[in-house]
A and B are shown apart, each in its own frame.
Chain A
């Protein structure tokens, strides 16, 4: 019987196919990156300290309340979530030196020549137990957006660049210039008057 030889398969392209597949999976796999809004909780107050905390000047505080029906109140009037950002921006920047808006303190900031106006404004966020998390986070997001936009404006003024593209030291300067003072208040029932 004649010796049969199997013809060799041309497999030179399988490696390429394998690499293509590899690249495809590399591109499409998400490594489950965590994104979110970072916050620092205030430490638990001591009993003695409690009275001292109240001494912040009234004009320096804006109280943002969310009730159990997810309605928002900023300061004294009800407001929609879409308007909140602008209100907070005005509150924090106080462009017209309004006596009802927070004090602007002239401060020397390391790394900048001359003095700059730094807001003493504090945003106090209060929510009801019945508030939905979605609404709460939407408000948090607006607050962060307001601060981020102010920081962007400040970094354009000081460095001519966006906040995001500054180096770490410059970012620290801008953070001092536009502090993010959001206080998440002690839980209380907002709906109860």
Chain B
């Protein structure tokens, strides 16, 4: 068959640079990949705390973001502090379902170690956080962590 005809000498381009192309691709993906799984809809500048410790099991954490909506959404949602669960604004009433869903997603053995990480903006008033805490207590999600950055 003509497709597999041999004999005719063809000039093949050098492939010595293929490894560099692979590296380029690697960098491209490294730079563009975002590690976050949910988009942040609230502005959160977490407060600093010198005693902040690392979260031990990151896979067992679920996050509650509290803060003012990002500027693009402020015309729609106002500038009051809001709670963000997963990808949308929620109220304290939705925390129960959120916690139940998060608990369901963890393996049976690890469920009791689930940590709810409260990522709240430093200017948020405690009222909303107290509401969240009370709701978490009601769902008996008692292991919590106040997200904070290390340093004074």
| Residue B36 at the chain A interface, CB threshold 8 Å | yes
Q: Is the CB of A133 within 8 A of B19?
A: no
Q: Interface code B117-146, partner A: CB below 8 Å = 1, 0 otherwise? A: 100111111110110011011101111111
How many chain-A residues does the 8 Å CB contact rule pick out?
42
Given contacts A18-B23, A37-B148, A38-B115, 11 further A-B contacts (CB under 8 A): A33-B58, A35-B53, A35-B148, A35-B150, A36-B55, A41-B133, A44-B140, A127-B130, A132-B123, A132-B126, A137-B49
Closest to B130 in A: A187
Determine how close the nearest CB of chain A comes to the CB of B112; give it in whole angstroms: 12
Q: From B26-34, B68-76, B85-93, B95-103, give the one contacting chain A.
A: B26-34
- Of B27, B58, B122, B149, the residue contacting A132 (CB under 8 A) is B122
Partner of A134, one of B47, B117, B140: B47
> Is B107 an interface residue when CB atoms closer than 8 A count as contact?
no
Max chain A C-beta neighbours (<10 A), residue from B35, B46, B47, B61: B47
User: Interface majority SS on A: helix, strand, loop or mixed?
Assistant: mixed
What residues make up the interface of A, taking CB atoms closer than 8 Å to B? 8, 11, 14-15, 18, 21-22, 25, 29, 31-44, 66, 127-134, 136-138, 140-141, 144-145, 148, 184, 187
Give the CA-CA distance A104 to B5 in the complex, in Å: 94
**Interface extent on B, as a size class?**
35 or more
Closest to B151 in A: A35
Closest to A141 in B: B49
Q: In this complex, what residue of A is CB-closest to B144?
A: A39
With a CB–CB cut-off of 8 A, which chain B residues contact A141? 49-52, 148
